[in-house]
Amino acid sequence: MLKNTFKWLWLLFFCFAVGTVYAIDTLDEAIERESAYIIDRAPNNSVLAVVNIKSDSISLSDYVMERIPDYVVRNKKNITFVDRSKLDLIQQEIKFQYSGEVSDETMVSIGSKIGAQIIVAGAISEDGETYNFSIKLLDVKTAIILGSSSTKIVHDNAMEYYWPGSKVAEYAKQKELEAQAKRDSTARKVKTALGIFPNGFYLGYLGSLNSPIGISLGWLNTTTAFFIDNEFGAPSFSGHERSSSLTYDGNTVTANNTNKYIDEHENTAFSWDCILGFNINIVESLLWADAGLGFEYRRKYKLFSENNSSSGSEKIWVENGDKKDKLKFAISAGLYLKLWYLYVQAKYKYVVGDEIDHSSYGLNNLSLGLGYVWRQD
């Protein structure tokens, strides 16, 4: 039992150690990690000075040298840091760069002059696809290294800001370009598979219950496009004769004789509507919404029975004589869905002034279409 427990503890320790060794942090996370190491190693009530952070970016070195004292003092009150102004005076005196190469002897000498007990020095360098951030602590009196630590830094936004021209930055940009090219290639393949082209002409059938014959012509684009729809509804006289000498005004039949006509309450009509409008792309080259405005031309007929002594009874279709009902405005709204070279559409048309047939839930005004798209790259 004890042996198995030991094995599990060793495994957990190993996983933790591997995760720690190969951890890759952002710049700020790396600074906090190394600052925590300083807190762990520095004795209580000691005076520290961050003398040097070597790197190829002066602004990066300055940033790290400012952040380390802030973090350490905030998390351990009994550690103090030498004021940065004293370091600036020494810098002018011996003409050394915070980001340059400084020997341990020079750093110990600087620490002695400014009253520090422990010197913190470090370096940030490129290491393949990442950066390596290392620090060490030097005892000013003995010049002995009290400890050292290192952390991997990923190329994040902060590193891009402080060290934009590094090889790691260029490598990261190249990898991002390759990843973007791969994403674009995948997107192109998906679009090609679905037929999602930038634009194209389309032509197809369009019809409804009232107007079963129709044609739709238009242009689909990635932003705004246009269309023209025509639908036809042919009258159905059902084998009965159509009268050309009689008219019907909605109430009575007008004729030059005294024949009597009985309304049989049956009707038919010829209709033609023409609507122009715009398509608005709502899902890239896949789904469009459309809105249009046009007119409908309609000729109505009503079925009557003629009763007279000579011919007996005969059913006759009589044209509606109310001229104002022949031409009306029409509006429409709908959707287009395109896959590959085919498209389907559905739109609702309303003729201004007409009453909606609630018995059919307005389905007589619903038009459906199917057509072909000519790809235009």
Specify the DSSP element, H or E, that contains 24.
Answer: strand 24-25
Residues 45-80: b if buried by 16+ CB within 10 A, e if exposed: ebbbbbbbbbbebeebbbbbbebbbebbbeebeebb
Find all residues with CB under 8 Å of 139, minimum gap 6, and list them.
Answer: 117, 118, 145, 146
Contact 53, 123 (CB under 8 A): yes
Q: What is the pTM of this model?
A: 0.46
pLDDT value at residue 68:
93
Map tokens 């520090």 to a residue: 116
Spatial CB neighbours of 69, under 8 Å, sequence gap ≥ 6: 48, 50, 81
Residue 217 CA to residue 229 CA, distance in Å, equals 6
What is the DSSP-derived secondary structure letter of residue 359?
Answer: G
Burial 269-300 (b: 16+ CB within 10 A, else e): bebbbebebebebeeebbebebebebbbebeb
Q: Supply angle C-alpha 366, 270, 239, rounded to 5.
A: 115
Tokens of residue 357, six digits: 């047939």
Angle between helices 27-41 and 58-75 (to 10 degrees): 50
pLDDT at 197: 60
Q: Which residues pair with 302 in a beta bridge?
A: 267, 318
First-to-last alpha carbon distance for the chain, in angstroms, is 72
Tell whether the torsion through CA atoms of 43, 48, 53 and 58 is positive or negative. Answer: positive
| pLDDT value at residue 323 | 56
Contact between 183 and 189 under an 8 Å Cβ cutoff? The reply is no
- Return d(Cα 221, Cα 225) in angstroms, integer: 5
- Tens-digit pLDDT profile for the chain (377 aa)? 555 555 544 444 444 443 344 457 899 999 999 999 999 999 889 999 998 888 888 889 889 999 999 999 898 888 999 988 887 777 776 656 555 677 888 888 888 888 899 999 999 998 888 999 999 999 999 989 999 999 999 988 888 888 888 888 888 788 888 888 887 777 666 666 655 566 778 889 998 888 888 999 988 877 778 889 888 888 888 778 787 777 777 677 776 555 566 666 678 888 889 999 988 888 877 888 999 999 988 888 888 876 665 555 678 888 876 655 588 899 999 998 888 788 899 999 888 877 776 666 667 788 999 998 886 55
Q: How much is the pLDDT for 32?
A: 93
What pLDDT score was predicted for residue 286? 82
Return the ∠ at Cα 160 (arms to 102 and 186), rounded to 5°.
145
